[in-house]
């Protein structure tokens, strides 16, 4: 595989890890009233924007996320690692494309915040979105999205159980300590992501079934759901710690990811 493409991929993994790391750390601190706040991906951008040299930090992160998006699109379209064209491969490549779209939006928004001096979009866009989701077509899309989130959440646990993440590394060439680090952070991260995807997917599907788009939940809403449950602080703190673990896993991916030529 082309060396420049590998650099793009590794840069992208590091940027994604940064987003998850900030999300996990701030949410963990909030869970135990140690400062911080429950944080989603958009709030990460706001957090960086408020820091010294915030524009520089946002620009770097935005470019990194665009690298991750580009890598996902290349995986989906060009298939540089020869995933294939069978049914299973097509599902995986479609997931890569969707992931690329998501991080293209997040990376673009980060750069837009640096370049734009106008305030963020107000409630008008939110009202338009809500009106569309209340239509029959919108409810079908919402329900399909909920099912996709639920399936993705279940897949996170399956992936961890079957240790599919090991396929991304040349384990035989790594020291035992590095192997343990990869496995432990992968287990933590995938379990936490699985929990969040299941919660978000459940509420999206329920909103579609009850024709009530206002029940849609974001990552922050999922955190609040955990916080308000029994043993809320501990549940929220555990999931947040898992996201930090996933961030570390992304950083390990950035350094040790094995690319099939």
Looking at the chain, the whole-number percentage of residues with pLDDT higher than 90 is: 55
What predicted TM-score, i.e. pTM, was given to this entire model? 0.88
Contacts of residue 104, defined as CB under 8 A and 6 or more positions apart, other chains included, come to 65, 66, 69, 73
For residues 192 and 222, is the Cβ–Cβ distance under 8 A?
Answer: no
Mean pLDDT value across residues 138-152: 88
Whole-angstrom distance, CA of residue 93 vs CA of residue 48:
32
pLDDT, tens digit (0-9, with 9 covering 90-100), for 2-19: 889 999 999 999 999 999
Check residue 223 and give its pLDDT: 86
Most confident of 8-22, 46-60, 140-154: 8-22
What phi and psi values does residue 119 have, to the nearest 5 degrees? -70, 165
pLDDT, tens digit (0-9, with 9 covering 90-100), for 92-144: 999 999 999 999 999 999 999 898 855 444 444 555 555 666 777 878 888 88
Mean pLDDT value across residues 60-76: 96
């Amino acid at each position: 595989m082309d060396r420049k493409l590998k650099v793009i991929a590794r840069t992208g993994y590091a940027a994604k890890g940064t987003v998850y790391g900030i999300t996990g750390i701030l949410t963990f601190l909030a869970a135990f009233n140690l400062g911080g706040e429950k944080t989603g991906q958009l709030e990460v951008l706001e957090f960086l924007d408020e820091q010294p040299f915030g524009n520089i930090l946002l620009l770097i992160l935005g470019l990194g996320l665009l690298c991750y998006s580009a890598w996902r699109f290349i995986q989906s379209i060009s298939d540089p690692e020869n995933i294939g064209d069978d049914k299973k491969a097509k599902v995986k490549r479609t997931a890569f494309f969707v992931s690329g779209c998501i991080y293209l939006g997040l990376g673009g928004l980060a750069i837009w915040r640096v370049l734009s001096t106008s305030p963020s979009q107000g409630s008008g866009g939110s009202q338009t979105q809500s009106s569309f989701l209340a239509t029959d077509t919108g409810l079908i899309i919402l329900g399909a999205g909920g099912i996709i989130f639920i399936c993705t959440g279940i897949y996170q646990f399956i992936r961890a159980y079957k240790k599919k993440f090991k396929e991304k590394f040349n384990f035989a060439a790594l020291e035992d300590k590095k192997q343990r680090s990869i496995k432990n952070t992968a287990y933590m991260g995938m379990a936490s992501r699985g929990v969040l995807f299941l919660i978000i997917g459940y509420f999206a599907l329920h909103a579609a079934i009850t024709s009530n788009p206002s029940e849609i939940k974001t990552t922050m809403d999922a955190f609040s759901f955990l916080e308000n449950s029994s043993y809320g602080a501990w549940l929220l703190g555990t999931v947040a710690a898992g996201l930090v673990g996933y961030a570390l896993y992304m950083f390990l991916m950035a350094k040790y990811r094995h690319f099939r030529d």
